Amino acid sequence: MTWHNDQVSAKETEKIISIARECLAIEGDFVELGCYKGDTSLLIAEVLRDFGSNPVENLVEKSAKKLWIYDSFEGLPEKGKEDESEIGRDFRKGELMVGKKEVKARFLRAGLPVPIIKKAWFSELTGEDLPEKIAFAFLDGDLYGSIRDSLRLVEDRMNAGGVIMVHDYTNEALPGVAKAVDEWMASKDYKLMRYESLAVIVIK
C-alpha cells in the first residue's frame, strides 16, 4: 500500500522504501526522528512487516527488526538563526503538530504493529533512548537544532553499511537542515548522495 504523504514526494517515497529494504540486510533496528502524522512511519513499518512475513535467505533474523519513532508531538520548536529563510516563514513554532494518540491509531487502523513511540524533544533524548544498533535512520526534524541533535543521537549506534536519510536537505525554506548535515559531515568519512530533497548518508 502507498500512503499519501503531504510532506514527502512520490519519488522520495520510492527511494525511502528502496533503501529501507536494502537495509534489511544490516543488523539493527530502524528509527525515525520526526514522524509528524506517521506517513513515513507506516511505509517503513510495511517494509519490516513484509520482511518478517517473507524472510529472505542470508538476511538477518526477522525477529531482530523493530521500528522506533520519536517526536515532540507538540509541533516544531523555536527556530534558530540557522533556519531563517524568506520563503520558510510558515514553519513557525507549534506548526505541524499531531498527537501521539493519533499516530498510534493510524497503525492500529492499518493493521500494522505499533512501533516503539517516544515523546520528547530531540535535545532531551540520550543514547539510552535509542536501540543499541541501528540499520536505517530517517531524520525529518525540519530545523537545524533538530537535525543536529538527531545526528548526534544516531551516529554512535549506526552499523556499518547502514543508512541515514535526512529529509529537506535541499529545501530552501529550511536551510538549517543542510547546515546541520554539512557541519556533521565535515568531520566524517562517509558518502553522501542526494536524491530529490533527501540526503542519503551511507555509513562505512
Contact 68, 116 (CB under 8 A): yes
Beta strands (DSSP E) in the chain are 29-33, 67-71, 116-119, 134-139, 158-166, 191-195, 198-202
Domain 10-202 classified CATH 3.20.130.10? no
d(CA 121, CA 72): 5
More confident: 55 or 197: 197
Domain ranges, ordered by start, for the chain: 10-202
Helix or strand (DSSP H, E) at 59: none
Contact 158, 138 (CB under 8 A): no
Q: Quick one: pLDDT at residue 53?
A: 55
d(CA 26, CA 60): 7
pLDDT digits (tens, 9 = 90+) for 59-109: 544 446 899 999 999 987 788 899 888 776 677 775 767 889 999 999 999
pLDDT beyond 50 at 174: yes
pLDDT digits (tens, 9 = 90+) for 10-60: 899 999 999 999 999 999 999 999 999 899 999 999 999 988 655 454 454
Instruction: Quickly list H helices, 73-174.
Output: 100-110, 144-154
- Residues of the chain above pLDDT 70, percent: 88
d(CA 12, CA 180): 20
CB-based contacts of 154, cutoff 8 Å, min separation 6? 31, 33, 130, 134, 137, 139, 164
Q: Enter the DSSP assignment of 61.
A: P
d(CA 124, CA 28): 23
d(CA 79, CA 72): 15
Q: Quick one: pLDDT at residue 64?
A: 66
User: Model's pTM, two decimal places?
Assistant: 0.90
